[in-house]
Structure 1
Amino acid sequence: MKTPTIQDVAQRAGVGVGTVSRVLNNHAAVKPTTRETVLKAIADLDYTPNPHARRIAGGKSYTISVLLPVLTTEFYARLLDGLETAFQEARYDVAIFPLLDRSRLERYLASHTLAYQADGLVMATYNLTKVFHERRLRTQQPTVLVDAHTDDADCSYMDNLAGGVLAGEYAATLPGGLYAIWVETELDQLFTTHVFEDRRTGFHQALAAAGRRVETEYTASFDTLAARNTAAALLDDVQRREGGLPCTVFASADLLAGALLDEARVRGLTPGQDVYIIGFDDQPWAAARGLTTLHQPVEAMGYEAAQLLLSRLGGYRGPARARRFQPHLVVRDSA
């Protein structure tokens, strides 16, 4: 049985080869009924496009480059899932470039490396306002930011300030002294993120409005061991104080909150009675562990960023657009 061709699909669907090509490329200029007919013909014939021929014919790579800090956290795994879902629907491949440190970011900003051979670029989390303002991004491809905001480019981001306010408003109603653990971020403003700064600002704003204040603030780098050490230091401090328990802790990421849950239980403390713990992210494990946290739709944020980029690739030439997502509080046993 011969392998079906694009001509076979066109004949079965009763359309031209150009129409089939537009459907494969997710082009907007196809009627929904025609698109459905072509997609059914593709499914019936089990047709698979030849990616090499598609690239030559279209003059495109059909690849999107994604630059992000790391690959090893739950947040970025979820963000990539949202991005890849949208790009795969549009038949684009994704090339992932973890930067890991500031030197790699500078290298990508300063040269036409492999990342720039893609049709579009996604940059995750960075404070790139200066980069866009100074036009340091050496690329002509459409570019979108995700988990970050600037007026100079399309972006899809979380309202972390609002999330911090929600955490502070709720923490102010809970008993005992108030404590907070923040994610330690790079001080260099090019390679940092406003995510945790915004959460902290919102948290303090809400506490001030409620007439409360934080007893002590801690920072931890974003890894499990550092988070556990910080949790231990916090609980050592609290348990040394007369009347230190119960207390309430806002951990600005679920990774930190999870470490605090573990450390509390090792010490025989009961989350939600001795230590009230609030996280931020609502990672997939949070419900099973009873963690009160701020839910953020990470996959949806990634998916929307991809849609913004795909619309640029489809011909949109209008002004920069921003898609803002709102977190919401999910109350569970830990607080």
Structure 2
Amino acid sequence: MRKPTIQDVAREAGVGVGTVSRVLNNHSAVRGATRDTVLKAIADLDYTPNPHARRIAGGKSYTISVLLPVVTTEFYVRLLDGLETAFQEARYDVAIFPLLDRSRLERYLGSHTLAYQADGLVMATYNLTQMFNEHRLRTQQPTVLVDAYAEGVDCAFMDNVTGGKLAGEYAATLPGTLHAIWVETELDQLFTTRVFEDRRTGFLKAVAGAGREVTSEHTSSFDPLAARNSACAVLDEIAAAGGFPCTVFASADLLAGSLLDEVRARGLTPGQDVRIIGFDDQPWAAARGLTTLHQPVENMGYEAAQLLLSRLGGHRGPARARRFEPKLMVRDTA
């Protein structure tokens, strides 16, 4: 049985081959009803485009490069899921480039590298405003930021200041001393993120606005062992000061999970002796009863991909910003 062709799809949908091609390329010129008809024909026939033929015919790679800090954390797994869902729907492949450190970012500043041979570029999390302003990112292809904001560039970002504010407002209503654990970020401004700085800004402002103060602040790298060590340091300090009951805001669920483990290991009761508030609402958070800030990570990735796909489809308007807001999920730990 022969494989269906683009001509078969056009015949099934009652449109021209050019219309089918525009739908496959996510072109903005196709009306919604027509697009739905073509997509149904593609699904009914189980049609799969020949990627080699598409590249030759269109002069495109049909590949999107995604530059992100790491690929091993739950946050970035979820972010990639949102990005890849949208790109796969538009029949684009995704090439992932983890940066890991500043030297790799410097390598990618030149447009000759492999990452820039794709049709579009997604850059995740890092504060690249300065590099865009200085034109250090010589991107010939459309570019979108995700989990980051910069003027003059399409971006989909989380309002982390508001997230920190929600955590601070809620923590301030709870009895006992208040404490916080922050994720360490790179001090070099070229390779940094404002995510945790923004969470801290919102949290401290809300606590102060409620007439409360934070008794102690600790930092931890984004690593399970470091997170457990920080949890020990926080609890040791609180115990020495006779500070139970208390509330601890851990600015990422990785830190909050480690703190929860250590609280239980010491025979303390989460939600009574130590109230814990996290940030992320990772898939395991609900099962562990973790009070945390929910981030629609997959939706943010999907929207960032749609912004890029619209550029690839011909959109030439000004830069657009899509803002996402965290939501407080109150559970057993606080």
The verdict on a shared fold, with TM-score over 0.5 as the criterion, is yes
CA deviation after TM superposition for structure 1 residue 307, in Å: 0.7
Q: Which residue of 1 aligns with 2:301?
A: 302
Does the 8 A contact of 2:179 with 2:216 survive in 1?
yes
| Letter of the 2:217 counterpart | E
Q: Which residue of 1 aligns with 2:191?
A: 191
Superposed CA offset, 1:51-95 (max 9, x none): 000111011111100000000100000110111111111111100
Does the 8 A contact of 2:162 with 2:202 survive in 1?
yes
Q: Which residue of 1 aligns with 2:31?
A: 31
Q: SS state of the match for residue 281, structure 1? A: coil
Name structure 2 gaps, 5 residues minimum.
Answer: none
Q: Which residue of 2 aligns with 1:181?
A: 181
- Cα distance in 2 for partners of 1:180, 1:36 equals 50
Q: Which residue of 1 aligns with 2:224?
A: 224
Does the 8 A contact of 2:293 with 2:329 survive in 1?
yes
Superposed CA offset, 1:140-180 (max 9, x none): 11100000001120110011001111111111111111110
| Letter of the 1:257 counterpart | A
Q: SS state of the match for residue 280, structure 1? A: coil
| Letter of the 1:31 counterpart | R
- Cα distance in 1 for partners of 2:208, 2:12 equals 67
Question: Is 2:279 aligned against 1:293?
Answer: no
Q: SS state of the match for residue 215, structure 2? A: strand
Q: SS state of the match for residue 109, structure 1? A: coil
Does the 8 A contact of 1:129 with 1:152 survive in 2?
no
Q: Which residue of 1 aligns with 2:148?
A: 148
Q: SS state of the match for residue 105, structure 2? A: helix
Q: SS state of the match for residue 329, structure 1? A: strand
Q: Which residue of 2 aligns with 1:324?
A: 323
Does the 8 A contact of 1:162 with 1:199 survive in 2?
yes
- Cα distance in 2 for partners of 1:53, 1:317 equals 27
Does the 8 A contact of 1:112 with 1:139 survive in 2?
no
Does the 8 A contact of 1:295 with 1:327 survive in 2?
yes
- Cα distance in 2 for partners of 1:304, 1:49 equals 24
Does the 8 A contact of 1:158 with 1:325 survive in 2?
yes
| Letter of the 2:272 counterpart | Q
| Letter of the 1:328 counterpart | K
- Cα distance in 2 for partners of 1:198, 1:295 equals 16
| Letter of the 2:25 counterpart | N
Q: SS state of the match for residue 144, structure 1? A: strand
CA deviation after TM superposition for structure 1 residue 207, in Å: 1.0
Question: Is 2:276 aligned against 1:277?
Answer: yes
- Cα distance in 1 for partners of 2:44, 2:323 equals 40
CA deviation after TM superposition for structure 1 residue 128, in Å: 0.4
Q: TM-score, normalised by structure 1?
A: 0.97
- Cα distance in 2 for partners of 1:317, 1:64 equals 19
Q: Which residue of 1 aligns with 2:171?
A: 171
Question: Is 2:207 aligned against 1:207?
Answer: yes
Q: SS state of the match for residue 259, structure 2? A: helix
- Cα distance in 1 for partners of 2:115, 2:40 equals 35
| Letter of the 2:148 counterpart | A
Aligned residues: 334
Moved more, 220-229 or 104-113: 104-113
Counting only pairs closer than 5 Å after superposition, residues 1-335 of structure 1 correspond to structure 2 as 1-242=1-242, 244-335=243-334
Q: TM-score, normalised by structure 2?
A: 0.98
Does the 8 A contact of 1:282 with 1:295 survive in 2?
yes
Identity of aligned residues (%): 82
- Cα distance in 1 for partners of 2:129, 2:85 equals 27
- Cα distance in 1 for partners of 2:53, 2:110 equals 32
- Cα distance in 2 for partners of 1:318, 1:205 equals 36
- Cα distance in 2 for partners of 1:222, 1:303 equals 25
| Letter of the 1:197 counterpart | E
| Letter of the 2:37 counterpart | T
Does the 8 A contact of 1:112 with 1:138 survive in 2?
no
- Cα distance in 2 for partners of 1:143, 1:297 equals 22
CA deviation after TM superposition for structure 1 residue 241, in Å: 1.6
Does the 8 A contact of 2:27 with 2:310 survive in 1?
no
Does the 8 A contact of 2:164 with 2:202 survive in 1?
yes
Q: SS state of the match for residue 164, structure 1? A: helix
CA deviation after TM superposition for structure 1 residue 210, in Å: 1.0
Q: SS state of the match for residue 201, structure 1? A: helix
- Cα distance in 2 for partners of 1:278, 1:292 equals 5
Does the 8 A contact of 1:271 with 1:334 survive in 2?
yes
Rate the CA distance shift 1:40–1:259 in 2: closer, same or farther, 3 A.
same
